[in-house]
């Protein structure tokens, strides 16, 4: 994003570039809602295979954008794809992990996301302004050839979803392959109120949910302020504060899992 105001043909100010940058986060919000609404109906595998593909194609579209309008659209859609993948992946890891390793494995997944958000500004600080910002988005599309093929052929369906949809034998086979307890038939259905947010916003967990949202909002606000502090004079150096602010995220994400 810091390189956008330095693109002469686009005529963007730092504020307009920031508006475009926020569209990815807005898309993630939409994508997470889609994942919550569709996950129970179609199963996580049908989200985790096309999700990275859609995200990668949108990254390619971002790199090839001819102007701010197409770039903004592709960033929003990329956010939708990422918003579908991250919560679905976390839920799958939680389900497919033995009870004693669940917290650690979820922490590792979240740390990997933090490493990605750390690596992107570091790569940008190294390449910009000598290389076009478009190259960064082409690199971001690597999941299309690294993640998607493996997910297509090796990612199993959720045992709980198999059991829920009447495929009990397949559910037992998957559980046995991963050393998990035999899945039990669901006791009943839980209504998906507010795209799955109804439970989080119920009386007891609501304060924790709202505080977590506030914490995430403040963190992103601080990161964005650091990111655009030096724009447009030095787009490469402008991303270094962002990478510095995220450098402690991976250990901070994994460390609490050791207490569970």
How confident is residue 232, by pLDDT bands cut at 50, 70 and 90? very low
Instruction: Read off the pLDDT of each residue in 15-40 and give the average, rounded to a whole number.
Output: 86
CA-to-CA separations, 118 to 114, 125, 194, 222, 247, in angstroms, rounded: 6, 11, 32, 15, 6
Percentage, residues of the chain above pLDDT 70 = 77
Tokens of 56: 């990668």
Whether the pLDDT of residue 34 is over 60: the answer is yes
Q: pLDDT at position 81, please?
A: 94
Which residues, 6+ apart, have CB-to-CB distance to 5 below 8 Å? 12, 13, 14, 16, 17, 231, 232, 235
Residue 105 confidence (pLDDT) above 60:
yes
Q: Is 12 left (phi over 0), alpha (psi -120 to 50) or beta?
A: beta
Could you give the CA distance from residue 14 to residue 1 in angstroms, rounded to a whole number? Answer: 9
Per-residue pLDDT at 54: 95
Does 226 score more than 60 pLDDT?
Answer: no
Residue 192 has pLDDT above 80, yes or no: no
pLDDT greater than 70 at residue 160: yes
Mean pLDDT of the chain: 80
* pLDDT tens track for 107-127: 888 888 777 777 777 777 777
């Amino acid at each position: 994003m810091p390189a956008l105001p330095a693109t002469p043909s686009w005529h963007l100010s730092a504020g307009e570039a920031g508006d475009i940058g926020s569209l990815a986060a807005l898309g993630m919000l939409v994508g997470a809602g889609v994942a919550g609404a569709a996950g129970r109906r179609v199963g996580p595998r049908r989200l985790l295979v096309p999700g990275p593909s859609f995200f990668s194609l949108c990254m390619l579209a971002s790199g090839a954008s001819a102007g701010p309008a197409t770039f903004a659209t592709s960033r929003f859609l990329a956010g939708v794809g990422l918003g579908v993948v991250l919560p679905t992946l976390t839920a799958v890891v939680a389900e497919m992990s033995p009870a004693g390793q669940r917290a650690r494995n979820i922490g590792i997944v979240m740390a990997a996301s933090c490493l990605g958000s750390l690596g992107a500004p570091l790569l940008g600080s190294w390449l910009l302004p000598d290389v076009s910002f478009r190259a960064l988005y082409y690199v971001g599309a690597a999941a299309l050839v690294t993640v998607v093929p493996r997910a297509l052929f090796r990612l199993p369906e959720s045992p709980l979803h198999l059991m829920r949809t009447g495929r009990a034998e397949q559910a037992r086979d998957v559980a046995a392959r991963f050393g998990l307890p035999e899945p039990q038939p669901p006791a009943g259905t839980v209504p998906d109120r507010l795209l799955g947010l109804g439970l989080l916003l119920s009386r007891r967990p609501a304060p924790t949910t709202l505080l977590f949202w506030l914490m995430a909002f403040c963190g992103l606000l601080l990161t964005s302020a650091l990111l655009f502090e030096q724009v447009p004079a030095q787009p490469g150096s402008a991303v270094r504060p962002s990478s510095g602010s995220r450098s402690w995220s991976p250990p901070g994400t994994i460390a609490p899992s050791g207490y569970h």
